[in-house]
Amino acid sequence: MAMPAANQDTAAPVSLVPTGDVVALRPRARAAERARVAARQVAATVLPPLVGIGLLLALWELFAANHPAGLPAPSMIWMESREIILHPFFDRGGVDKGLFWHVFTSLKRVAIGFSAAALVGIALGVLVGASKVAHRALDPIFQVLRTVPPLAWLPISLAALHQANPSALFVIFITAIWPIIINTAVGVRNVPQDYRNVGRVLRLSPIAFFFKILLPAATPYIFTGLRIGVGMSWLAIVASEMLLGGVGIGFFIWDQYNSSRISDIVVALLWVGLVGYALDRLVALLGRIVSRGASAG
Amino acid sequence: MGKSYLSIENVGVTFGGRLAGSEVLRGIDLQVNQGEFVSIIGHSGCGKSTLLNVVAGLLPVTVGAVILDKEAVEAPGPERAVVFQNHSLLPWLSVYENVRLAVDQVFRGKKSRAERHQWTLHNLDLVQMVHAKDKRPAEISGGMKQRVGIARALAMEPKVLLLDEPFGALDALTRATLQDSVMEIHAKLGNTVLMITHDVDEAVLLSDRIVMMTNGPAATIGQVQGVELPRPRRRLEVDTHPTYIGARHAVVEFLHNRRLRAAA
């Protein structure tokens, strides 16, 4: 609907000028039109979320203003927590650090626990997916253990490891590993018979078959597992840090709750949400790069 | 018996145990000479693909044996290269890499790296796909995928080339072009070819002999029709040739009668 109108806008002035200038003017007119189309596209993708956020903030402001004792309004949060919003990088030693450092510490824990979960999870998943015996032996154990909530693992790991930091890492590991195992196993089991036949006709050795056919064919499934796993491990770290103390975004939230600084908690939650979102996108992007269209056929 | 190049001897296949299972093939006897192009035609579900899979070694025989060049077929191998119905290219590899995987696997230790590279390109050239060598299977058309599948099979230098309804999923124009390509390659390389098809014209145009299968269960060979047309065959010239028309009629009649009996 809007396109013909834009065409008329650009065409009308051009037709008025002498023919000698038309050639020189055309490309510029076309570029202007292209810029207008691009601007409209950007507006169409950027405006709706902005409007959504604006509406949410307005409603929140309205409700919070009527209940001064409850959740602070956005304007209140800005006044009370401007310090930690604007200065995420300060470091006064101990746990008195900017939000960036808390998040960074938590992310380091996630990186270690999640990497371990990815390595062990993919290995176990391939084993369970490829071998019927291993599947029968291990699957019941997996099915029961994977339903255990992350925080229920914490007392056990504390009892076994005696220290806070390794326990937090273990909780991340054990939370993230189940979706990785299960999805990898499904991927390995679902390698199309056609690809297996190609491997058989070529007489690929078991090792060559594993690396050239099985692993690439299962890659999209593996990354589905990794994506679910990284989200769950981020949930687990925030929860387990609340109980463990020290530096970390989870403990920061707990600490602010104990000193009744609800505004700071809201700001921290925003960080947690944004970082979780970024982690999810990152793994999804990695998956797309690594699987190189393996799911398309 | 057993004197020809590829010998299928009294082959029977029963799925799910010899006593209680369902018998798919019974008493299949077929001799194929070196360089011969043989098509197997029959109604869907008659076990054509099962027979091809047996020759490929992908399925074990229940009774009988398949002997290729004096050796019994017991497992799949590159000397019996298969062009699969749905191309079966590995989607994460480029066109070149798909063929190169086969070349590396078959000629490792026999050809140098440079020779294997040349051989890969040579086979892509045979099917006119060098121009798309760096594309992934998802980026090329169905006909092109099938060409690459043929290149991959040819690159293994198989003793017998097994085509499992290779053009079944293609549109008529693409199918005709690919049939011409297969005829050219067959004329140039003299491969022994066993092709499954359900297309009568395709069978008559390409084959030296057409093997017609009865309907399952327990399908067997009903009739064999020779096609004594001189090669090279040109689509537009042969389809009015009395031999072509006669062979075509025999196959259509066979299939038609089978269909009536199946319906009754």
Q: Checking DSSP bridges between strand B37-41 and strand B192-197, what pairing results, if any?
A: parallel
Is A203's CB within 8 Å of B78's CB?
Answer: yes
Q: How far apart are CA B66 and CA B58, in angstroms?
A: 12
Please report the ipTM that was assigned to this predicted complex: 0.87
Cis ω for the linkage preceding B217 (within 30 of 0): yes
Quote the pLDDT of residue A15: 42
Residue A142 and residue A177 in contact, taking contact as beta carbons nearer than 8 Å: no
Quote the pLDDT of residue A16: 44
- Judged on CB neighbours under 10 Å (0-12, 13-18, 19+), A162 is exposed
| Residue from A191, A193, A197, A201 whose CB has the most chain B CBs within 10 Å, to mutate | A201
Quote the pLDDT of residue B105: 93
Q: Which residues of B touch A214 (CB under 8 A)?
A: none
Name the amino acid, one letter, at B130: V
CA distance A216 to chain B (A): 7
**Nearest Cα to B163, choosing from B49, B6, B5?**
B49
DSSP state of A89: T
Q: Which residues of A touch B90 (CB under 8 A)?
A: 195, 198, 212-213, 216-217
In this complex, how many residue pairs, one in chain A and one in chain B, have their CB atoms less than 8 Å apart? 62
Q: How far apart are CA A145 and CA A147, in angstroms?
A: 5
Q: What strand order describes the sheet that includes B160-164?
A: B82-83, B160-164, B192-197, B37-41, B209-213, B221-226
* Tokens coding A85: 């919003």
Q: Which residues of B touch A217 (CB under 8 A)?
A: 90, 92
Check whether A112 has a pLDDT greater than 90.
yes
* Averaged pLDDT, A85-114: 88
Q: Is B181 on the interface with A (CB under 8 A)?
A: no
Residue B58 and residue B140 in contact, taking contact as beta carbons nearer than 8 Å: no
* Averaged pLDDT, A115-138: 94
Q: Is B84 on the interface with A (CB under 8 A)?
A: yes
Interface of B with A in 89-148 (CB under 8 A): 90-92, 101-102, 105-106, 136-138
Question: CA of A114: how far to CAs of A176, B9, B183, in Å?
Answer: 6, 58, 56
Q: What is the mean pLDDT of each run of 10 residues along chain B (264 residues)?
A: 80 80 89 94 87 93 92 92 90 94 93 95 93 93 93 94 90 90 91 93 94 88 89 86 91 85 56
- Residue of chain A whose Cα is closest to the Cα of B86: A194
Quote the pLDDT of residue B37: 95
Question: Three-state DSSP class for A70?
Answer: coil
* Averaged pLDDT, A137-150: 92
Determine which of A92-101, A119-128, A179-188 has the lowest per-residue pLDDT on average. Answer: A92-101
Quote the pLDDT of residue A29: 77
Comparing CB atoms, the residue among A201, A216, A219 nearest residue B77 is A201
Q: What strand order describes the sheet that includes B22-32?
A: B22-32, B6-15, B63-68, B71-72
**Nearest Cα to A232, choosing from A285, A158, A185, A177?**
A177
The terminus-to-terminus CA distance of chain A in angstroms comes to 37
Check whether A182 has a pLDDT greater than 50.
yes
Tens digit of pLDDT for each residue in A10-23? 444 444 444 444 45
CA distance A197 to chain B (A): 7
Q: Checking DSSP bridges between strand B6-15 and strand B22-32, what pairing results, if any?
A: antiparallel
Is A197's CB within 8 Å of B136's CB?
Answer: no
Quote the pLDDT of residue B262: 58
Q: How far apart are CA A184 and CA A191, in angstroms?
A: 11
Question: Three-state DSSP class for B82?
Answer: strand
A7-41 burial by CB neighbour count: b if 16+ within 10 A, else e?
A: eeebeeeeeeeeeeeeeeeeeebeeebeeeeeeee
Question: Three-state DSSP class for A247?
Answer: coil
Quote the pLDDT of residue B213: 92
Residue B243 and residue B201 in contact, taking contact as beta carbons nearer than 8 Å: no
Quote the pLDDT of residue B2: 43
Quote the pLDDT of residue A135: 93
Is B91's CB within 8 Å of A208's CB?
Answer: no
* Averaged pLDDT, A228-240: 91
Check whether A176 has a pLDDT greater than 90.
yes
Residue B104 and residue B116 in contact, taking contact as beta carbons nearer than 8 Å: yes
Is B82's CB within 8 Å of A213's CB?
Answer: no
**Nearest Cα to B39, choosing from B205, B264, B237, B241?**
B205
Quote the pLDDT of residue B20: 72
Q: Is B81 on the interface with A (CB under 8 A)?
A: yes
Question: CA of B160: how far to CAs of A289, B35, B234, in Å?
Answer: 39, 9, 24
Tens digit of pLDDT for each residue in A183-210? 999 999 999 999 999 999 999 999 999 9
Q: How far apart are CA B15 and CA A132, in angstroms?
A: 21
Question: CA of A122: how far to CAs of A106, A153, A207, B245, in Å?
Answer: 24, 21, 16, 60
CA distance A221 to chain B (A): 14
**Nearest Cα to A169, choosing from A216, A228, A227, A233?**
A233
Is B76's CB within 8 Å of A200's CB?
Answer: yes
Q: Which residues of A touch B91 (CB under 8 A)?
A: 293-297
- Judged on CB neighbours under 10 Å (0-12, 13-18, 19+), A94 is exposed
Question: Three-state DSSP class for B127?
Answer: coil
- Residue of chain B whose Cα is closest to the Cα of A197: B58
Which chain A residues have any C-beta within 8 angstroms of a chain B C-beta? 194-195, 197-198, 200-204, 208, 212-213, 216-217, 219, 291-297
Q: Which residues of B touch A291 (CB under 8 A)?
A: 92
Residue A283 and residue A226 in contact, taking contact as beta carbons nearer than 8 Å: yes
Residue A234 and residue A110 in contact, taking contact as beta carbons nearer than 8 Å: yes
